[in-house]
């Protein structure tokens, strides 16, 4: 008996006929031949423990350790070893949804602590636990605004990460929501456009720091959004919440964003963790679940699932979203990480990262090989325009074991600095950039 029931040849034939494909290989036709693995996998049937260990070490040695100066939504931040150790404990690693609170007190407790930390960071009244990533959290925030206002138009700043915008557009399509992209002006949201296009909209979605790393100022924006009966949604990357104004400071209605930089490794792009927090009056429109603290029959503190606006628990037509299982293991990672650093440690760590980002910015401009693009304050990322041909720039840096900046259009580069980068790393990187120019 198979653990999983495999498809029969007849099953496969029927499915291919439905989607009008001639073969399974046709489903992968978009992948270039050069990227396909067309050789036998050469997986041995058996090995001794010692031989297997040496084999795995040989495979691991093929990995290339690189200095990373790229971000754009995924950051090479340090993950303390205790985070990995604790989340690998069996009671955490294999746990699922805490349907039975009487036997899930540990899981419910740490989810409650996670929610409390998110509320403290964002200033919001309530947080859920949790979202798949920052992009889907932003899309779910849009759904909350839609459910609250019943309006079919939303404004979203084009200075958000393009991947986030793509996800929002995908979610919006199947709810017949019109997404209006707010143009940028000198790297920041064109607020004049916002004021002139809020009519009949459910609200506005913005970010700070934005895709370019720029810290945008949204003072008084909420006032204009609320005048049109809309909701103000702010997307903020998790680590920035330790230094800058949060959603409540800007009188926002919903806070959302990505928490990958807080104790979650790069992991080839996922799984990551999104957060979603709001004001008490909108709690019934929030997807997912909310954990609360109460007292048991003996008067002792106990943790429970307070609210579950999920299609598994209520009528499907009444559910706010089809978001089901939360990623509580990753929420636990963030909770452990923030607990380890503490309030001041979190602030200090983020502040040091920002200082090193400005140091890299200054050193690159000193080479006279770049032009400054935006005259705006930034956080852990910034954009520069190179004065040289960058056709082979990435390939050159890769050979030097460096993953360099992201090319965001034909002539702009997006640099990022994480807390793992040292001043020595930055100096080395700048020297390699100069060496590349001299080799042209």
What DSSP state is assigned to residue 240?
G
Residues with Cβ < 8 Å from 91, sequence gap 6 or more? 106
More confident residue, 98 or 213: 213
Q: Tokens for 107?
A: 């899981």
Can you list the positions of beta strands (E) in 243-355? 254-258, 274-278, 289-295, 301-308
Backbone angles phi, psi at 307, to 5 degrees: -145, 135
More confident residue, 314 or 172: 172
pLDDT at 320 over 80: no
- Which top CATH class is 67-79+343-439? alpha beta
pLDDT at 3 over 70: no
Contact 327, 271 (CB under 8 A): yes
Q: What is the mean pLDDT of the chain?
A: 92
- The Cα 134–Cα 137 span in angstroms is 5
pLDDT at 324 over 70: no
Range 44-63 average pLDDT:
90
Domain covering 81-337: architecture: 3-Layer(aba) Sandwich (3.40)
Q: Which one, of 301, 302, 324, lies nearest residue 311 by Cα?
A: 324
Domain with CATH 3.40.640.10 in the chain: 81-337
pLDDT at 311 over 60: no
DSSP for 382-426, written as a single string: EEEEESS--TTHHHHHHHTTEE--EEEETTEEEEE--TT--HHHH
Global pTM value: 0.88
Please, where are the H alpha helices in 160-306? 162-173, 191-196, 221-227
Q: What integer pLDDT is reported at residue 43 of this predicted model? A: 74
Q: What integer pLDDT is reported at residue 136 of this predicted model? A: 95
H/E stretch holding 185 = strand 184-185
Range 188-201 average pLDDT:
97
Question: To 10 degrees, the CA torsion angle through 374, 377, 378, 379?
Answer: 180
- The Cα 81–Cα 267 span in angstroms is 15
Range 307-335 average pLDDT:
71
Domain with CATH 3.90.1150.10 in the chain: 67-79+343-439
More confident residue, 227 or 92: 227
Give CA angle at 110 (105, 113), nearest 5°: 125
pLDDT at 315 over 70: no
Give pLDDT tens digits for 9-19: 999 999 999 99
């Amino acid at each position: 008996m198979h653990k999983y029931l495999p498809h029969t040849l007849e099953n496969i034939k029927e499915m291919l006929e439905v989607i009008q494909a001639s073969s399974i290989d046709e489903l992968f036709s978009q992948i270039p031949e050069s990227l396909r693995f067309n050789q036998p996998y050469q997986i041995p049937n058996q090995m001794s423990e010692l031989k297997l260990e040496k084999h795995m070490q040989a495979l691991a040695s093929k990995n290339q350790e690189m200095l990373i100066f790229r971000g754009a939504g995924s950051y090479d931040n340090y993950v303390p070893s205790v985070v990995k150790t604790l989340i690998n404990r069996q009671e955490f690693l294999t746990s699922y949804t805490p349907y039975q609170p009487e036997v899930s007190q540990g899981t419910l407790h740490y989810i409650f602590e996670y929610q409390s930390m998110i509320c403290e960071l964002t200033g919001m009244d309530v947080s859920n636990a949790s979202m798949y990533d920052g992009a889907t959290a932003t899309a779910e925030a849009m759904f909350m605004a839609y459910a609250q206002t019943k309006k079919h138009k939303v404004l979203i700043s084009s200075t958000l990460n393009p991947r986030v915008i793509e996800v929002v557009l995908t979610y919006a399509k199947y709810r017949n929501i019109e997404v209006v992209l707010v143009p940028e002006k000198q790297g920041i949201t064109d607020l004049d456009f916002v004021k002139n296009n809020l009519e009949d909209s459910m609200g506005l979605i913005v970010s700070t720091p934005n895709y370019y790393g720029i810290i945008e100022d949204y003072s008084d924006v909420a006032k204009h959004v609320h005048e049109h009966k809309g909701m103000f949604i702010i997307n903020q990357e998790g680590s920035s919440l330790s230094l800058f104004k949060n959603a409540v400071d800007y009188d926002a209605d919903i806070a959302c964003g990505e928490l990958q930089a807080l104790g979650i490794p790069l992991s080839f792009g996922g799984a990551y963790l999104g957060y979603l927090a709001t004001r008490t009056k909108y709690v019934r429109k929030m997807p997912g679940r909310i954990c609360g603290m109460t007292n048991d029959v003996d008067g002792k503190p106990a943790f429970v699932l307070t609210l579950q606006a999920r299609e598994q628990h209520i009528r499907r037509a009444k559910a706010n979203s089809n978001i089901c299982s939360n990623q509580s293991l990753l929420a636990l990672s963030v909770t452990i990480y923030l607990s380890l650093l503490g309030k001041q440690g979190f602030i200090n760590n983020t502040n040091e990262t920002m200082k090193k980002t400005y140091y890299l910015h200054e050193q690159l401009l000193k080479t006279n090989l770049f032009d400054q693009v935006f005259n705006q304050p930034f956080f852990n990322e910034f954009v520069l325009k190179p004065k040289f041909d960058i056709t082979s720039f990435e390939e050159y840096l890769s050979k030097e074991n460096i993953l360099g900046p992201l090319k965001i259009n034909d002539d702009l580069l997006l640099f990022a600095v994480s807390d793992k980068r040292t001043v020595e790393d930055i100096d080395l990187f700048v020297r390699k950039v100069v060496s590349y120019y001299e080799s042209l």
